[in-house]
Each structure stands twice: as C-alpha cells, then as structure tokens.
Amino acid sequence: MDPLSAITAALVAGSSAVASGVATEAVKDTYKGLKTVLVDTYKLASTQLLEKKPTSPAAQEAVKEEIQDTPAILDDQAVLKKTKALQDAMRQELPDHLTAWGTDIKELEAGGNIIAECIQGGVRGKKWKAKGDVRISRVTARGSSSRNP
C-alpha cells in the first residue's frame, strides 16, 4: 500500500475505533501518537473533522487531500512508523471489538463487480445502486458465531 493510502486508512480506522468507544488502550495510544505527530509537526487540521465524523466521506477526503498537499508527510519516517504501529494495534484487536465496529457502506454504486467477503460486525448501508453484480458474503453479525456461506 502506498504511504498516502496507508496513512489515510490508519487515521480513518483509528478515529472510527476510538469514536465507537470500544477501542483498546493500544489502539487509542497508537492513534493518538500518529495524530499528534501530524498535528504538531505538519499542522493537519482535518483530523479534528475526521474525529467528529469518522465515517464521513468528506472528512476522509479532507484528510487525504491535506496529507497529499504536504508531501513531506509521505517520507517522514516517524509518521510511517506510527502508521505501522496503529495498523499493527488494529490487527491485534479482539474479534469482539472488530465486530462491534462493523462495516458502513453508506453509498455504493456499482457498474461492475464488487466483492466483499469475511466481514465482521455486519454491513450497514443506505443508498446502494447496482448496474452490475455486487456480492457480499461470509458476514458475521455482531454477537453471531456462524458465518454466511
């Protein structure tokens, strides 16, 4: 994954986990560490918007654009190290925590194939349009121990 995508994805995942109220201390600490270096060193303002609305596409895009507009971030070893630490902390989360977060797909428009598999916590959505195939499979709902085939 390229640095821009990795940093953006880590910030979105971290802010979502913290906002959900079920993040472990490891996730909270590593998210705070990444955010602190971005705010203190690079004066990223969009992280505040992301924390208020972590699932907002506009907030996510604002963070991505602000990082993209500051190319030094993409080469900063401290940022990349903290990004990896947050990714690792997220991977270590208990399945119950991951299940509580679930997956939100507010808007989905497919003109071709979209395949989503092995999703924990259910899938939520509002505006979905498909002109082609959309397949969502092997979803484990919150509190469920079985998987859909």
pLDDT tens digits, one per residue of 85-116? 998 988 887 555 555 555 656 666 666 666 66
- Give pTM, 2 decimals: 0.66
How far CA 50 is from CA of 8, 34, 58, 105, 111, in Å, comes to 10, 14, 9, 17, 29
C-alpha closest to that of 6 among 123, 117, 14: 14
Q: Give the phi and the psi of residue 94 in degrees, each rounded to 5.
A: -65, 145
- CA-to-CA separations, 56 to 68, 75, 81, 94, 116, in angstroms, rounded: 18, 27, 26, 25, 20
With a cut of 50, say whether residue 146 has pLDDT above it.
Answer: no
Two structure tokens written together for 69: 């507009």
**Model pLDDT for residues 47-73, shown as the tens digit of each residue:** 999 999 888 889 999 999 999 999 999
End-to-end CA distance of the chain: 29
> What is the per-residue pLDDT for 122?
62
Q: Which whole number is the average pLDDT over 69-88?
A: 95
Q: What angle do helix axes 3-20 and 77-91 make, rounded to 10 degrees? A: 50
pLDDT band at 147 (very low <50, low <70, confident <90, very high): very low
pLDDT of 54 reads 87
Select the more confidently predicted residue: 145 or 64: 64
- Residue 135 pLDDT greater than 80, yes or no: no
The Cα–Cα gap between 66 and 139 comes to: 34
